[in-house]
Each structure stands twice: as structure tokens, then as C-alpha cells.
Structure 1
Amino acid sequence: MYHIPNKYYYRLHQIRPRFKNDVENVLIYMATCLSNLSEMPSDKFAKAMNNAIKLFPGNANKKDKTINNWRTEISALFGLIETDSINQTSKPSNLAFKLSENQDLVEFFKYFLFYFQYPGGYLKPHEILDYINQGILFKPVSYLINVLQEGEKITEGRFYIDKAETTHCIFNDLRVTRQNNPRKPKNTAYLVIHNRKNNINYNWTGDVIRYAGDILDYMVIADLLVCHGNKFYLNNKNQEVIVSFIENEVIFLDYIPLYKKLNLNINDVKSLNDAWFYFVNSKLDQEIFKTDLYKYLGVDSTTYQDLVLDSINEFESKLEQGVEIKTKEIGDFGEGLVLGHEKMRIKRGKREDLLHLIQKIPTQFAVGYDIQSVEFDERKRYIEVKTTISNKKINFFSFHLTPNEWNTAESLKDRYYVYRLAISKINRELHLIQDPVGLYKSNKITMSPKDGADITFTEESSQKEKLLLWID
């Protein structure tokens, strides 16, 4: 059994959300709710958040203590709230707005892991104090990536690490986690290989491996790793992002003076709490963290070329109109997929003569829908596309309509559709909600007025379809 000498043993940990098994759904829900809040006194902000948490499926009858724990876990670990302790005010963080706007959980977890370190403001002040007294300053994700790369060099092949090896050879060993990482990633890779060759066992108890295991799971969500069984490998298809993490030396500099301070006390740590959450919400503009959806989804080359051609044509049209071209976001990609879906639907219905009627409507026209399509009987179909991307299948039966979109839906009635598109590597789920205003009036979906309408629907109130990819 592998054993860390007592003088080097120290167990790293972080908040482990009680909603971890549903973390992606919860984060999107909370980011969406938070984005509708403004800065306000912290007690009122907490109450508003609690009310939103209670509306999440399954939470209606939970005790106040559980709801409060949800709020503190979300705000602490994932940095979705920024607080001004002096003025006692709170507001949604930049990360919350970014996740709500982009609906890109893969991108969100890249940012979360890029800034994640031990110690951090997600810990209680006395825990941070203890970490600093132990000399711990550790960025686990960049270290793990380096170990896996070194392992591939040594073995000249694909190299993996599991949760027990990560726990005992890395996370719980001060020879790794103290400042300057006394044991380099290459030596850790050699240690893992040596232990395998000598059939050395590890303690696999769930409570023991959970914290290192959570970080590995988050790295999979961020598309940095791929997991087969309990073996975690580098995602070498994401090499540009991998390199950015290998070279990641971004640390929370405000902690650094505390390592040398005499008579360090808990108030020194508490005074930096607000600064930590500002730190993890800074510089959220790295283009390489945006999800390359064509690569992410593994779209075949023919379809890829068609989609790229559509994008080029759209760009050329914008150039002719003198419109500024911005980076393609997930919404644009979702609209592109739905445009292809509609073309393929009409093509399969033997009405290729109608294909020219399917058009993506330029955003600047602000007509209240994204795509104008057509029925087989030549009546118009007006489509608003709402897209979410996740690393695993996500059951997120909610979306937001702007006031303009809601008014347009009310005017167009059963000609108006919302295409709710959830995209993951293992699943592409498309739900069609026809006449959302009519469904609301007949109590088949729920609506909360928030600068437009927050809609929640069910499978029964929508039509599930297989997403069709356009092929000439």
C-alpha cells in the first residue's frame, strides 16, 4: 500500500457542492438567475438568490439551511458573486454574466480551472491560514497536465492517471504542493509508472479520493481531459488550450506577502476575501477558451465545410453592408445548425424547391426571431434559436425571451417556434416549442416576467426532434 511519510502528508480539499452530480444544470440555472439581479445590499441579494434556488427542480421543500448552503457553495467555489464587504453590497460576477450570455459550460470551466489554486477564497479563512503556514501554493491543473505530458514522453504513448494516483502521488503530498513544487511533474510521472510496475496499491476510499477526483472531473467538463473507465488522459485535440495551461503561472498575488509575514493572523486573510473574487473574475477575454464547436462535436469534414461556407457567405454579406464582424459565439453556431436542420427537413420532404425560402435573419433587423423557414404547404415558420453547450447530456428545460421576442411570439401565434438546442459530445437534443405564448395561456408552460420572459417547459409541452445535419 502506497504511503506518504507523515511529515509530508497534508490533504488538500475544496468545497464539494451537494449538487455536484448535477453541477452543469445548476450552474447554468444560477448564472441565468443571477444575471437578472443588480448590485444591492448583501442581505437582500442573498434573499433573492435563495428564492431562485428554491425554484430549481426538487428544491421547493428543502430547509433554509440547505438553500443557504447551496448559495454559499455556488458563490465561493465558482466565483459567481462579487461582494464589497466594506459597503456590504453584492452583485453578479463577470463569470455569471459570461455563462448566462454564452451558455458555454466548457468555456466556463476552463476559466474556473485556469484561476483555481490552493489556497483560494473558496476556503474558510482559518483553512487558508493553515495552508499558508504549511507553505502550500499549488495550481493543480497545470501540474496535472504537465505530469500527463511527461508520462507520454517517458512511455512514448498515451499515458493516463487515475483518481487514487492523483490523490496520493500529487494532492496529499507536500513535496508536490508546497511553493515551487519540490517534486517536478516528470518525477511524479516516474513515480506513478514505478508504482504500477511494482503493483503498489492505493487507498481508493471514496472520502479519500473525492477532492482530487472532483478536479479531474472538472477537467473533463472543460475538455482538457478525456476519461475512459477511471483513466484520465490528455485531450490532445485541444492542444492550444493545453499549452496555455502548461504555461499558466497566474496566481493570486495578494497572498504572496503573507508567506513571509511574522505573526500572521486570520484577519490578514479575511481582508483579502473580496480581492480573491475580483481576481477569479478578471481577464475573461481569452479567445482560445471559446469552444471550437466543429472540433468539439466531431462534425464530419463535409458538414464542416458546408457550415464554414455558410459562415463565409454571411461574413461577406456583412462586409458588403459595412457591418463589424465579431467572434462567432455559441448562439451563432446554434443558429447555423438549426438553419441546416431546416434545410434538411425540407429536403427530406421532397420540397427542394422551397430551400431558398429558409433564411437566417440578420440580428440588426431585430424582428424577434433568428430564422425564417417554411412548411411543406409553403406557409412561413418563424424560429427563435436558444442554444446551450455542455460536456455531457444536459436537461435544461428553460430559456429566456426578450420583450421583442415575446411580443413577436404573441403576434405570430402557432407560426412562431422556439428551437431549444442542447449540444454535448454525446448528445444533440432539440426541442421545438410551438406558440410559447399560447402554451403559457393554456398553462402548459410557466413564465416569469424578467425583462421579457423566463420560460420553463417540459417534454410534454414540446416536440423532440433529431437534429439533422445539412448534407448537399
Structure 2
Amino acid sequence: MMYRVPKEYMLRCAFPRGRVLRQVEDDLSILTQFIVKFTPNESKEFDRLIDEEYGKMRSISLKSIKNFRTEMTRLFGLINVGENGVVTPSKRTELLVETQNFPLFFKTFCHKFQFPNGINKPQETIKFIEAGVHFEPAKFLLELFDLGVARFGSAFCVDGTEISNLVFNDSRVATGRRTAEEVLDVLVKLRNQRERFETGSKMVQHGREFLGYMFLAGLLIRDESGKFHLNETARTAIDFIKSDVEFFKVSEDFATDLSVRKQTLRDWWLWFGDVGETEKNKFAPGRVTSEEEIPELIETGIEVTPEMERAATPTRADMKEIGDKGELVVLKYERERVFRIRPDKVALVQKVSNDTSLGYDIQSLELEDVTKKKYIEVKTTERTFPPSKDVLTYFRMSSNEWDTAKLFKECYYIYRVFLTRDEASIFVIKDPAKKHKDGHILLEALQYRVIVKETAGSYAK
């Protein structure tokens, strides 16, 4: 048997396609840095600069680049365009550039994503208005997951085909006439009857993609079979999204009054791309409070003995003062390295990040000569997937940090920490000032945005 949404209830809540899920973070990393670099700017000039710069990095047609820019900026709310036609970065873009925290970025996106919206083409938005649509996918799906877990336990899961057919394609859900509990009842019944769902790409891509974005946000977990489970560790964010009543109302005059439509779209971009302090507080990761929360490094080749583990693991005092996962990963890694050759010197590996005037976060020792100090600035990015090797990673440095790098030369290191779910990797850059002089690092004076080529360093071993 094949389940099909009854014709009288068929309404596809679709939206512009993003990228392949594993590629989205890389594309956003590139695009958001370009947006900050080329704004504020007049709209046509902004488009030209983005297309030109992106064309240097991707061997695709100009038409494909234009489509990519338009779809990504609209879908994720990356820019604002004022009445004067000047483009500025949205708060969401600025948040990602500043924090390098992709799960935080995607939480803010999922939280505000709704139908009707200013993302779809006007004719689609008009169709949703006329149908009486009032739909917040993340809120609805989190309610569905909570009900499923309450009924069946933590093993409850769904896939994109089920969610597309039962949620994103059914007007009863989009207009509030079918609750999450009723959808769960239908889902259970269809599973018991072993009914199949329509699987054509147009029928299932939107539900599958939105579940993917909730996965990138850390709200869901995806298992090896591709099914999605609730991520209970994100409970604070989950409860906030479920309880928030904010909704952007699109005027009914949107369909008939062009001036209302233009103003509504400007208001939409300001609202959709905005990130308030409450969101940041609810969605930002909490401080690390236990050893189990410190991500393990990808295989480093260091044999860790019980004695080394005890000596290297950050203490509760370390965690209370630091809290940042990236710095704790580096602190543990450096203590392990020093312990191997001079266990008596481990105590000299210290965090100093509370004193921003120093221009570095961790003070360690050079293994070749433990009488020489090593000054480490930690730059952390949280992602779901590791970055592709051909993607230029970037981060911000203060003028004080860069001046300190020039002062300490070969004794100064940047440890570029990538946290991907439960694993961590460290890209080590020794003497970044010399790497810049030799052309392996590009420096742009914002504060400083440091753009790193693969030749600038190597992953820790």
C-alpha cells in the first residue's frame, strides 16, 4: 500500500534548496566572510563582488554562482537590503563570523523559520496566505519528537520521507487543523500497516532537508541508517523553541499592494536575520562542567597512560575558569605532550586566557627545549562535519594578539581547533607572522581576519 496525502489537503510547504548537507557549513563559512568583507555596499556592486570572489574558488558557471548566492542569502537570512538599496550583513551572519559556532547559527535559523515567509517567491507566499497557513516547522517537529519519546522511549525516530508526507505536504498541519499528536497517531498506524510513502524528490526533499538543518543545529541526532532522533542534551533550546510564541505576520495586502509587499519583505529580512540576546543565551553552549564534556582529539599517536591522563585532564578549577571547549582540548593536549618527556614540568602548562592583555590563551613549553616557553592562541570552530581541505578557514584576531604573534615569532602558535560533535582536531600554525610574510596566511584588517591556507601548518599528531 502507498500512502498519499488526500488531494483536498495537498499543500507542499517547500523552500529554496540549500546545498548538500555535508557542504552547507563550508559554503556558509565562505559566503558569510564575503558578505562581511563586501558590505555595506550598493546591491548590484555587492552581487558582482560576491560572484567574482566565489568564482575564484569554485569551477562552476556564473549562472550557478548567482543562483547559489540568491538561494543561500534568502534561505538563511544572511543580508538586509535597505530602502536605499544598500546591503548590510544580518545579525545571524555577524553571529557566525564572530562565534564560528555553526550549531548556534542553525538553532537561530530553525527557530525563526516559518510559513508564510519572505523566502519563497511572492506567488508561493500568496498561496500560503490564502490557505490560512501558520506553520513553524521546528516547533511542530520538536513537539512531535517529545510526544514520540514519551510514548516509545528514546529510540523513537523518523525519516525525511515520513515527515515530508505527513507534515510538510499536508495543509491540515500547516493551518493548525492537525496536531503533532494526531500526526504521531497516523504515523504509528501507517508503520503498523507497513504502508509506504511517496519518495519522489519534489515530494520529500523539503522535509528531509529541514530535518538535516535541525541536525546541524544539534537539536536532533542522525543515526547510521539516516533516521533522526531527539537530542536530549539540547533540552534548553528545545523547550525555548517550543514555548516561544513570536511569529512574523505577513499582511493580507501582500497579494494586492506592491508597496506593502516591498515593505513586508524588508521587514521580514530584518526580523528573520535578527538574533536577540535571549536567543543567544538559550542557544549558546553552556560552560564545560565535567571531564566527559571535553571532546576527544582524533587519533594523535600519543599513548596515554593512566598517570598521564590524571596529570593532563583539566581540573574542575580549570573548567570553572575556562569553560571554552577548544581551550580545554588544547590544555589537555599540551599537558599530555609535556608529560611524555618531563612529567615534572606539567604544572607549567597553564591557561592564561582570563588576561586578554597577554595576547594568547595557553602557556606551554617547547618539547625540544623545555626551558623555552610556548605561547598559544586558541581559535575554535564548532561544526557538525569537518571542513573540506580546499576551503579557506578564517577567524578573527585582535590587534593585540597579532602584535604578540609578531613579538614572540617562532614561539607563538595559533591552534585552530575544530570541534565536530564529540571529536576534536587541532590545526597547528607556528609563527603566524612569518607564515603571513611568506604568503601562507592572508590578513584582512577588520580586527584582523586571518584566512588560512593548508600550507600554513599541519594537524596535531
Q: TM-score, normalised by structure 2?
A: 0.87
Task: Report what 1:23 is aligned to.
Answer: 24
Query: Which residue in 2 is equivalent to 1:352?
Result: 343
Q: In the alignment, which residue of structure 2 is the partner of 1:373?
A: 364
CA contact (8 A) 2:3 2:195 kept: yes
User: 2:187 aligned to 174, 186, 192, which one?
Assistant: 192
Query: How much does 1:341 deviate?
Result: 1.8
Counterpart for residue 463 of structure 1: 458
Aligned match of 1:120: 117
1:209-220 alignment to 2 at 5 Å? 209-220=204-215
Where in structure 2 are the equivalents of 1:267-306 lying within 5 Å? 267-285=259-277, 286=279, 287-292=281-286, 294=288, 299=293, 306=314
In 2: Cα distance, 1:108 partner to 1:399 partner:
16
**Aligned twin of 1:247:** 243
With over 3 angstroms needed to count, the CA separation of the structure-2 counterparts of 1:83 and 1:300, relative to structure 1, is: closer
SS of 1:271's partner is helix
Deviation at 1:237, TM superposition (A): 2.4
1:431 pairs, out of 427, 431, 455, with 427
User: SS where residue 166 of structure 2 aligns?
Assistant: helix
Q: Which runs of 5+ in 2 are unaligned?
A: 296-308
Match of 1:69 among 67, 70, 87: 67
**CA positional deviation for 1:134:** 1.9
- SS in structure 2 of the partner of residue 28 of structure 1: helix
Aligned residue runs from structure 1 range 99-118, under 5 A: 99-118=96-115
Matched, 1:91 2:88: yes
- Mark the CA change 1:386 to 1:170 in structure 2 (over 3 Å): closer, same or farther: same
Q: Is the 8 A contact 2:90 2:274 kept in 1?
A: no
SS in 1 for 2:3: coil
Residue in structure 2 matched with residue 323 of structure 1 by the alignment: none
Matched, 1:80 2:78: yes
Which is further off, 209-218 or 21-30?
21-30
In the alignment, is the contact (CA less than 8 A) between 1:361 and 1:372 conserved in 2? yes
Give 1:338's aligned residue: 330
1:309 partnered with 2:317: yes
Q: What displacement does 1:305 show?
A: 8.8
Is the 8 Å Cα contact of residues 392 and 427 (structure 1) preserved in structure 2?
no
Question: 3-state DSSP class of the match of 1:12?
Answer: coil
138-147 vs 448-457, greater mean Cα deviation: 448-457
* Alignment partners' CA distance in 2, 1:82 and 1:430: 35
Does 1:166 find its partner at 2:160? no
Counterpart of 2:242 in structure 1: which amino acid?
Answer: I
Query: 1:135-182 CA deviation, whole Å, 9 max, x = no partner?
Result: 22211111111112222333356322111110111110111111xx10
Judged with a 3 Å threshold, the aligned counterparts in structure 2 of structure 1 residues 209 and 291 are, in CA distance, closer, same or farther, namely: same
SS of the residue corresponding to residue 27 of structure 1 reads helix
SS state of the match for residue 229, structure 2? strand
Which is further off, 289-298 or 155-164? 289-298
The one-character-per-residue Cα deviations of 1:344-379 (angstroms, maximum 9, x if unpaired) are: 211122x13323332333455533322221113221
Secondary structure of 1:420's aligned partner: strand
Secondary structure at the residue paired with 1:35? helix
Aligned identity (percent) is: 27
CA contact (8 A) 1:129 1:265 kept: no
Deviation track 1:236-292 (CA, whole Å, cap 9, x = no partner) reads 222222211222322103x1x41xx59745553333111011112334323120123
**Residue in structure 1 matched with residue 133 of structure 2 by the alignment:** 136
Partner AA of 1:159 in structure 2:
F
User: Are residues 284 and 133 of structure 1, via their aligned partners in 2, closer, same or farther at CA, if it must alter by over 3 Å?
Assistant: same
Query: Cα offset for 1:386?
Result: 1.1
Give the corresponding residue for 2:406: 410
Counterpart-to-counterpart distance in 1, 2:319 and 2:333: 15
Q: What is the CA-CA distance between 1:23 and the residue it aligns to?
A: 0.5
TM-score scaled by length of structure 1? 0.85
Give, in angstroms, the shift of residue 63 of structure 1: 2.8
Q: What amino acid is aligned across from residue 325 of structure 2 in structure 1?
A: F
Name the SS for the 1:161 alignment partner: coil
Kindly state the Cα deviation for residue 419 of structure 1 after the two structures are TM-superposed. Answer: 0.6
Aligned counterparts of 1:46 and 1:64: Cα–Cα separation in 2: 11
Q: Aligned to 2:238, what secondary structure does the other structure show? A: helix
**8 A Cα contact 2:334 2:364, kept in partner:** yes
After superposition, residues 39-50 of structure 1 pair within 5 angstroms as: 39-50=40-51
Q: Is the 8 A contact 1:422 1:428 kept in 2?
A: yes
SS of 1:97's partner is helix
Is the CA contact (8 Å cut-off) linking 1:335 and 1:370 kept in structure 2? yes
Residue 402 to residue 157, structure 1, CA distance change in 2 (3 Å): closer
Q: 2:177 & 2:23 partners in 1: Cα distance? A: 36
> 1:24-79 deviations in whole A, cap 9, x for unaligned?
11212322333344423222322333344234x4x1x4332222222212211111
Mapped contact 1:386–1:420 kept (Cα < 8 A): yes
- 1:110, 1:191 → 2: CA distance? 28
Structure 1: unaligned runs, 5 residues or longer: 316-327, 467-472
8 Å CA contact retained: 1:10, 1:172: yes
Residues 126 and 266 in structure 1, CA contact (< 8 A), matched pair in contact too:
no
Amino acid at match of 1:309: A
Specify whether residues 369 and 155 from structure 1 end up closer, same or farther in structure 2 by C-alpha distance, changes over 3 A only: closer
Q: Distance in 2 between matches of 1:299 and 1:10?
A: 43
